[in-house]
Amino acid sequence: MTIEIGVARADDGDAVGEIHAAGWVVYEPFFEPSYYEKAVAHRRGKWHEVLAEGSETVLLARIEERPLAFSYYGPSADRAFAAEIHGFYGHPDGWGSGIAAALMAATLSRMERDGFGSVHLWTFRDTPRSRRFYVKTGFVESGENRRYDFGEGGLIDQVEYVRRVP
């Protein structure tokens, strides 16, 4: 099995959107069905514009040339010399393959190259799979929690994870 990881290009918008939409299946229980459907459609379609802007770094991971995971990060809005992972998603077809761990290692390496000393991210409190993954890849809970509104009016409990780079 060959895993390839590189910076996503503007023409990768459909692939990144499909991964994002498929990976959002873990969040379905947190939202009303009508909002969830709109949110998935938005995630499927937004990536051409995001990638064309190029203001954040998006890494795309493939197994045997099939795109199955991506990370999306940029400078932290509130911490000097820190990066923030805005999104880290895998297509369910890639779960358990090792692609996520390889992508996280590549993401951290790229952050180090970009001059970041630390990284933080937010994840849903009630998603044990993602929380185990972040711990497995060296993140620790910061002790910070927040209630985040994804736009549907409900607040989702999130926890913050941090780590040094690399």
CA distance 52 to 76: 21
The pLDDT confidence band at residue 1, using thresholds 50, 70 and 90, is confident
CATH superfamily of 3-164: Gcn5-related N-acetyltransferase (GNAT) (3.40.630.30)
Domain extents in the chain: 3-164
pLDDT digit string, tens, across residues 124-133: 999 999 999 9
pLDDT digit string, tens, across residues 19-67: 999 999 999 999 999 999 999 999 999 999 999 999 999 999 999 999 9
* pTM score: 0.96
